[in-house]
Amino acid sequence: MQRVFLEFEKPFAELEKQIADLEAIQQEQGFDMSAEILDIRRTLISMIRKKYSTLTAWETVQVARHPERPMTPDYIEAFVKDFKELHGDRRFRDDPAVVTGLGKIGGEKVMLVGHRKGRDIKEKVACNFGCAHPEGYRKALLRMKQAEKFHLPIVTFVDTPGAYPGIGAEERGIAQAIAENLMEMARLRTPIISVIIGEGGSGGALGIAVADRLAILEFAYYSVISPEGCAAILWKTSEKAEEAANALKLTSGELKKLGLIDDVIPEPLGGAHRNAREMATTLERRIIRYLRELRAIPIDELPEQRYRKIRSVGPVAEAMAAPPTPPSTSNGAFPRG
């Protein structure tokens, strides 16, 4: 399958084409082109490393949305053993935008919850492009409560531009469903690990991201609103999305500085979409480490630690000047006028 290149990746495409052409000549005509191929490959690696070390916020959003970027089902297939999907919320229907199920990561049984965007057009439409309905969040909460009952850690993969904004979702209480998830996840008596693997948009992301360990992949983003949504509100046009992305401080580096996430998981050179296997291996190892760390904490202490962690988000330092001393008169009364 032909690789998809983002606009800022077009120079990479040219060099990769040169490498492919030289390899074809070498194979078909028997000429030794290894030195030329090695030289171009070194140049390509240098260009990728330089560009990806200086991505703007808007370019990071484009990488997070890359059509070849690994998604929840890809990671499940790569390292979640014996996965058994569980369907439905026992109230309305099964929402395909949220996948839940039992499996093993590093030999440990877990309850897995994640957003599902879909790959081809048919699947994307069925999953509403990863935008979950209320029943999706109710399904997620049902599984998380089952995990608590059976003493299973919870692992969630966040990858959504936001909760579904349609009339049906509003009619069935999308805001209430997300709010209930926030409240219930905050006090679940079982370890919770959440990883933002692509897009982390608004309450749609937050609805499964209240966790003891909140991590983000290097080129994913996490924001109160999508850049387009922010631009539409502030400037009445989505054409200002790039400016909005820069203002939202949504990149992994900015989020780490603000204390909004606990860990940044490095991606392969050029992003997860260039080496999905390596990304899956890195993610699996990091999740196994989180599971071991959280297993060492007594279960009675987890909800309290989680609560303190949530309450510490967004510290603001203000320089408070001392209030001025009111003037006084010789007899101690305040002056009139």
3-state per-residue secondary structure call for 75-87: HHHHHCEEEEEEC
pTM of the prediction? 0.86
Residue carrying the six token digits 């014996």: 82
The answer to whether 23 touches 33, Cβ cutoff 8 Å, is yes
The residue among 278, 252, 273, 250 whose CA lies nearest residue 264 is 252
15-31 as b/e: b if 16+ CB within 10 A:
bbebbeebeeeeeeeee
H or E element that contains 235: none
Q: What pairs with residue 213 in β-bridges?
A: 193
Distance from C-alpha of 34 to C-alpha of 36, rounded to nearest angstrom: 6
Neighbours of 189 (CB within 10 A): 11
The answer to whether 159 touches 117, Cβ cutoff 8 Å, is yes
Distance from C-alpha of 188 to C-alpha of 148, rounded to nearest angstrom: 7
Distance from C-alpha of 271 to C-alpha of 69, rounded to nearest angstrom: 8
- The predicted pLDDT at position 73 comes to 96
Distance from C-alpha of 223 to C-alpha of 209, rounded to nearest angstrom: 12
97 alpha-carbon distance from chain centroid? 15
- The predicted pLDDT at position 329 comes to 46
Using DSSP, how many helices (H) and how many strands (E) does the chain show? 14, 8
The residue among 100, 74, 81 whose CA lies nearest residue 89 is 100
Backbone φ and ψ of 26, nearest 5°: -60, -40
The residue among 180, 212, 192 whose CA lies nearest residue 112 is 192
The residue among 156, 184, 189, 183 whose CA lies nearest residue 290 is 156
- The predicted pLDDT at position 137 comes to 96
- The predicted pLDDT at position 30 comes to 74
- The predicted pLDDT at position 333 comes to 46
- The predicted pLDDT at position 318 comes to 53
pLDDT per residue as tens, the chain (337 positions) = 578 888 898 889 888 888 888 888 887 887 777 888 899 889 999 999 999 999 999 999 999 999 999 999 999 999 999 999 999 989 899 999 999 999 999 999 999 999 999 988 999 999 999 999 999 999 999 999 999 999 999 999 999 998 988 999 999 999 999 999 999 999 999 999 999 999 999 889 999 999 999 999 999 999 999 899 899 999 998 889 999 999 999 999 999 998 899 999 999 999 999 999 999 999 999 999 999 999 999 999 999 999 988 888 766 555 445 555 555 444 444 444 4
Distance from C-alpha of 308 to C-alpha of 302, rounded to nearest angstrom: 10
Distance from C-alpha of 259 to C-alpha of 256, rounded to nearest angstrom: 5
